[in-house]
Amino acid sequence: MHDLRELYEEVILDHNRSPRNFGRRPAECNRTAHGHNPLCGDQVEVSMTFRGGVIEDISFSGEGCAISTASASLMTQALKGRSGEEAQSLFDAMHAVLVNDEPPDLERLGKLGALLGVKDFPMRVKCATLPWHTMGAALAGRDTPVTTE
């Protein structure tokens, strides 16, 4: 279990140092949402091209802690090319594990499993879920900024 935790920590550090899909906005962006965690100051913007019920492209920008940045990076990788329903289902699965302490389906979560260690640090769960809540707002076309409070 110790080796698995170290692997997860390395994945989070890697995605923080070199976030995927960071800083660029999809060329045909038609959905954007902003999120903020007032407790730690994390700010994230999720932008996507959502067409025909599919997330064709997705990116994020903003400033946040390593967990928030890694979560957004892993999320964008996991959701590109998925349907809106699949994106919502993955959000629900992540939320259930991190917030409701349900057992994870590691096969389904794939690389997102790296975020599971965050549940051992309750104050950091909001850091990990902020990009996901923001993605949900973008997917739904909501203009109201997302907050973790």
pLDDT tens, 114-143? 999 898 888 899 999 999 999 999 999 998
Domain count of the fold of the chain: 1
Tell whether 45 is covered by a domain.
Answer: yes
pTM of the model: 0.94
Judge contact between 59 and 72, C-beta under 8 A: no
As given in the structure block, the two tokens for residue 75 are 């999320």
Tell whether 149 is covered by a domain.
Answer: no
Is the pLDDT confidence value at 21 over 90? yes
Tell whether 13 is covered by a domain.
Answer: yes
The pLDDT of 33-57, averaged and rounded, is 96
As given in the structure block, the two tokens for residue 103 are 């057992």
HSE on the CB side for 17, CA within 13 Å?
A: 6
As given in the structure block, the two tokens for residue 36 are 């903020």
Tell whether 9 is covered by a domain.
Answer: yes
The residue written with tokens 């400033």 in the block is 63
H/E stretch holding 2? helix 2-17
As given in the structure block, the two tokens for residue 34 are 């902003």
Is the pLDDT confidence value at 101 over 90? no
Judge contact between 58 and 72, C-beta under 8 A: no
The residue written with tokens 């965050």 in the block is 118
CATH code, domain carrying 81:
3.90.1010.10
Tell whether 148 is covered by a domain.
Answer: no
H/E stretch holding 94? helix 84-98
Q: What is the pLDDT of residue 1?
A: 52
Is the pLDDT confidence value at 144 over 70? yes
pLDDT one-digit tens code per residue, 52-85: 999 999 999 999 999 999 999 999 999 999 999 9
